[in-house]
Amino acid sequence: MTQDSLRFNVYINVERFTNYATESFEWIEDFLAILLDGEVRRQRSRECRQQKLGGAISILLSLLPNSEGGFRRALLKFLRSVVTFWIPNRVILASHGGLETVLAMLETSSGEFKLILLEILSALALVREVRKFLWNSRRVNLLVEAASHGRMVSRTRAAQAIGLLGLVKRARRAIVDVGAVLVLMHLLAEGDVTAKAVAGNALGIISSHVDYIRPIAQVGVIPLYAELLRGPDPVGKEVAEDVFCVLAVDEENAVEIAEHMVRILRGDDARAKAAAAGVIWDLANYKCSSPVLRNSGVIPILVELLVDENVDVREKVAGAVAQLSQNKADRAVLANSGAIQRLISMLEAEADVLRDDAAEALVNFSLDPSLGEQISCILENSIFQNMQLRVMQMRDADRHMDLSLQHQLTLDPALSRF
């Protein structure tokens, strides 16, 4: 087959197959089979088929540099479909010179051609070796550009690739320096459900670097994560909760986060309230957050929600209260807000988790000399006694562990440097 006849054959069939509105990769195989005279279809072994696919992709790549107009557009759209709808083709395209070709064309392309190339790059960047190449060649900016333009599904892939690259600590500074934060924030604010979760996760990975915890919060991400927490997507809620735990390491961030949680807990959305109570539960584990939570006014709200009609809300709130009850100052606020009587009534709850959390909190109250008298009426309760035994056993185990660690440090002072 001559170059001209091959070019004509490719053009006719690319136009034919890229006009199909389908997300099946079967039509991609059909075209590649035509391109290689049916050899792909006849080959049954995976290894042989990948070799034939690689050969077909190589033919397409060889035609790209000298292509123009509609033919170039058709080739690019076809390659975009190849890497979008069939994940193994991303590796095949990248390993057959496709990445170098795409990067070279991006330097001289504009308009629709550039958008398609960025979409191809966003798919290729989900391959680890491609991300590594982009970072080593200082082309991370192209990923950020891909997350800024094009179809939402492609921008979401680029955001995912940015997040994956951000897992490499040394790469985070480069990602921030090329403007990724603002681009991800825009996706977090304006993207669809999937884009919000993916962009939020990527931004959370970047913010986990100690140098960026406060600066990223200062540009306005906390309200965006609060909206993600209110949203309908369970994955988005989990992402927001995890990122809040990272950002709350900084006290100013923790104050702002607590304010948003108070507003959500005062609202009517049960799912959002359960998620916000989960965030408070997480923050209560941080000693540095304890004064922040007390000053935010969230504790009296939690006490009110112990009798909320929604079971998920009650369970998350009970967990947060049990955690807060470990701190003396928080116990005083809980007691003054009427928590003890509500916790006592929860010992008869049907759900085991509610009974356990209530009993754990009451055990903590019973160990406080200033509050013990208020729970004297349930000292003979079997649920309370069982939890009291478990708490004592756990605290004894913690003390033994601390003593063991101190003994090891005494025997080997060098360990204390770590």
Question: How confident is the model at residue 3, as a pLDDT?
Answer: 45
User: Is the distance from CB of 354 to CB of 315 less than 8 angstroms?
Assistant: yes
Give, as one character, the DSSP assignment of residue 287.
Answer: G
As its CATH architecture, domain 127-247 has Alpha Horseshoe (1.25)
Superfamily in which the 269-413 domain is placed by CATH: Leucine-rich Repeat Variant (1.25.10.10)
Q: State the number of CA atoms in the 13 A half-sphere of 75 facing the CB.
A: 29
- Collect all residues with Cβ–Cβ distance below 8 Å to 220 and sequence separation of at least 6: 185
Average pLDDT over residues 274-284: 94
Question: How confident is the model at residue 29, as a pLDDT?
Answer: 47
Cβ-defined contacts of 102-110 (< 8 Å, 24+): 103/139, 103/142, 104/65, 105/64, 105/65, 106/142
User: Is the distance from CB of 310 to CB of 273 less than 8 angstroms?
Assistant: yes
Confidence band for 79, pLDDT divided at 50, 70 and 90: confident
Average pLDDT over residues 233-242: 94
In the chain, CATH 1.25.10.10 sits at: 127-247, 269-413
pLDDT(24) > 50: no
2, burial (CB in 10 Å: exposed 0-12, middle 13-18, buried 19+): exposed
pLDDT(8) > 80: no
Sign of the dihedral defined by the CA atoms of residues 224, 230, 234, 239, in that order = positive
Lookup: tokens for 62:
């060889």
Distance CA 75, CA 211 (A): 44
Q: Which of 87-91, 111-115, 272-276 has the lowest mean pLDDT?
A: 87-91
Distance CA 206, CA 185 (A): 12
Whole-structure pTM value: 0.79
Confidence band for 368, pLDDT divided at 50, 70 and 90: confident
Question: How confident is the model at residue 36, as a pLDDT?
Answer: 43
